[in-house]
């Protein structure tokens, strides 16, 4: 965390705390001197702290506020004001080593365990300090100190250190795989043990139920990271047990993780588990193309004359399908759009005015957009499904890119082997951005985010949705539902 960020956090917290007693109640202390206030026996440390913040933020009297703060610290050297002042010095660190030294000094002077015996609402101080110190240790490659720091922490704080440091190092490959595996394994096992410690409970933010749900979701995320690391290293047998710690929602509900799970089952020779696992993933509608291929191979090997399509349809959850259909209906619309023309890779203009009553799906994407790229397998499934349907056309529209945007889009599609009809968005003459067609639709979306799916028919935008759920099969079903609803119209 940067010092600028830390300063912002402390400023917001100071401002919030200043409102504790209210302006009117504080005005009685307007003319009192800091010395008089500290000598009074009827004022607690907490009340003196509120008055100090009133001087600083209410009266804007920095000198008076500073003097009172110094006197409070002198009278209560282990109190909340002294703790906050000591914590505040960390943001003044210029170098990583200085940051480490100041954070270590703070924790030595104000140990977490002592505060925890009499908590007073300053947990943010320790959460932030551990986050700053942990990142400094990690960046300095002081991994033993990093691990020694994380072990005593609660789930909320250790999870943040894992997410911010270990996950990023795995994604960006900034630390060797063996070193990361040692760190990740120890922390994951600790997080599994701590998950139900209720550390996310916070008045006004998370009640017990929401805290538990958040902890479960965070645990799923970190397990996903750890399993991905093990899989990338070929440690399939080591990865296998960690799937059992996933929540019910994540056990079959994450398509990319499901594909890893399938590979682990195959690599460890657990063929008997493959079909039941894939059937459960199908019920959750979280399948990738490879998973569907494997399921088809398994089924057809057992049923030479079986009806695979009927079998597959029977696996889908009726409830899930009805829920998805209801969501699709909510995104149906009826907006006329401005006709346009865009270039394809061969330099030919594709004009919307030529589409007539065809149902045309546009997927606005960019090479820099990770969710856009992640959705490509689902879009390929959709394209393959309607490949022989003359009424349906799907175009992948590269947008919002810089430089040689044509080469970027075409090169990526060619390299990945997708069979897409690609179009290039036009240059906006007013801004110079490659987003002219996309921007013409933005007023209808009230959002400029991608990936963005748009379905057109008869010169009207009939469906639109933003984002990606994470499941190729669910995305294909979503757009198929929308297409079939439009087909059924009279």
Query: Tens digits of per-residue pLDDT, 211-266?
Result: 999 999 999 999 999 999 999 999 999 999 999 999 999 999 999 999 999 999 99
Of the pLDDT bands very low, low, confident and very high (cuts 50, 70, 90), residue 490 is: low
Residue 9 pLDDT > 60:
no
**Which of 18-22, 184-188, 331-335, 392-396 has the lowest average pLDDT?**
18-22
Tokens of residue 264, six digits: 């682990």
Q: What is the pLDDT of residue 15?
A: 44
Interhelix angle for 255-267 vs 274-283, to 10°? 170
CB of 199 closer than 8 Å to CB of 157: yes
pLDDT of 453 reads 97
State the pLDDT at residue 139.
Answer: 95
Give the separation between CA 326 and CA 324, rounded to whole angstroms: 5
pLDDT in tens, 198-214: 999 988 889 999 999 99
- Report which of residues 118 and 347 the model is more confident about: 347
Which span out of 120-124, 256-260, 304-308 was modeled with the highest average pLDDT? Answer: 256-260
pTM of the shown model: 0.85
Structure-token match 């063996």, residue found: 178
Instruction: Calculate what percentage of the chain has a pLDDT beyond 90.
Output: 87
The Cα-based distances of 408 to 372, 375, 416, 468 in angstroms read 14, 18, 12, 22
Q: What is the pLDDT of residue 13?
A: 47
- Mean of all residue pLDDT scores within the chain: 92
What CATH number has the domain spanning 330-487?
3.40.30.10
Q: Which residues pair with 461 in a beta bridge?
A: 335, 456
Angle at 459 between CA 458 and CA 461, to 5 degrees: 100
Tokens of 91: 């943001």
pLDDT of residue 22: 61
CA dihedral of 369, 370, 371, 377, whole degrees rounded to 10: 110
pLDDT band at 118 (very low <50, low <70, confident <90, very high): confident
The predicted pLDDT at position 24 comes to 67
What average pLDDT does range 431-440 have in this prediction? 95
3-state secondary structure of 334: strand
């Amino acid at each position: 965390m940067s010092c600028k960020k830390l300063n912002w956090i402390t400023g917001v917290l100071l401002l919030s705390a200043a409102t504790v007693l209210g302006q009117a109640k504080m005005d009685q202390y307007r003319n009192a001197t800091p010395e008089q206030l500290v000598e009074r026996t009827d004022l607690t440390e907490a009340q003196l702290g509120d008055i100090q913040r009133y001087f600083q933020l209410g009266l804007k009297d920095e000198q008076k506020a500073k003097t009172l703060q110094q006197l409070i610290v002198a009278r209560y050297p282990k109190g909340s004001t002294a703790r906050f002042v000591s914590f505040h010095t960390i943001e003044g660190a210029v170098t990583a080593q200085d940051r480490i030294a100041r954070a270590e000094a703070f924790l030595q002077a104000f140990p977490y365990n002592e505060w925890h015996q009499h908590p007073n609402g300053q947990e943010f101080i320790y959460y932030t300090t551990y986050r700053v110190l942990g990142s400094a240790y990690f960046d300095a490659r002081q991994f033993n100190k990093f691990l020694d720091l994380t072990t005593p922490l609660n789930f909320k704080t250790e999870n943040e250190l894992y997410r911010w440091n270990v996950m990023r190092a795995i994604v960006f490959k900034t630390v060797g795989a063996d070193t990361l595996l040692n760190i990740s394994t120890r922390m994951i096992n600790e997080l599994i043990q701590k998950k139900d410690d209720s550390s996310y409970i916070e008045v006004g933010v998370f009640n017990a139920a929401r805290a538990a749900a958040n902890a479960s979701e965070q645990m799923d995320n970190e397990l996903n990271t750890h399993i991905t690391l093990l899989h990338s290293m070929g440690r399939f047998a080591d990865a296998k047990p960690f799937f059992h710690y996933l929540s019910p929602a994540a056990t079959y509900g994450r398509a990319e993780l499901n594909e890893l799970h399938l590979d682990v089952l195959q690599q460890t020779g657990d063929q008997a588990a493959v079909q039941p696992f894939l059937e459960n993933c199908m019920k959750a509608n979280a399948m990738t193309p490879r998973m569907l291929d494997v399921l088809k191979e398994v089924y057809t090997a057992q049923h030479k004359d079986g009806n695979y399509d009927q079998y597959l349809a029977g696996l889908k959850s009726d409830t899930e399908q009805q829920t998805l259909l209801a969501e699709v209906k909510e995104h149906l619309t009826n907006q006329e759009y401005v006709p346009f023309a865009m270039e394809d890779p061969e330099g030919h203009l594709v004009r919307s005015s030529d589409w007539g009553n065809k149902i045309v799906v546009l997927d606005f994407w960019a090479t820099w957009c990770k969710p856009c790229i992640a959705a490509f397998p689902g879009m390929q499934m959709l394209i393959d499904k309607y490949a022989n349907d003359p009424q349906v056309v799907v175009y992948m529209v590269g947008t919002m890119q810089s430089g040689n945007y044509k080469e970027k889009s075409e090169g990526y599609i060619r390299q990945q082997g997708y069979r897409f009809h690609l179009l290039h968005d036009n240059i906006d003459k007013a801004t110079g951005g490659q987003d002219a067609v996309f921007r013409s639709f933005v007023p209808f979306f009230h959002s400029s985010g991608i990936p963005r799916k748009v379905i057109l028919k008869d010169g009207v935008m009939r469906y639109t949705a933003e984002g990606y759920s994470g499941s190729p099969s669910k995305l294909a079903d979503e757009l198929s539902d929308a297409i079939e609803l439009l087909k059924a119209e009279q």
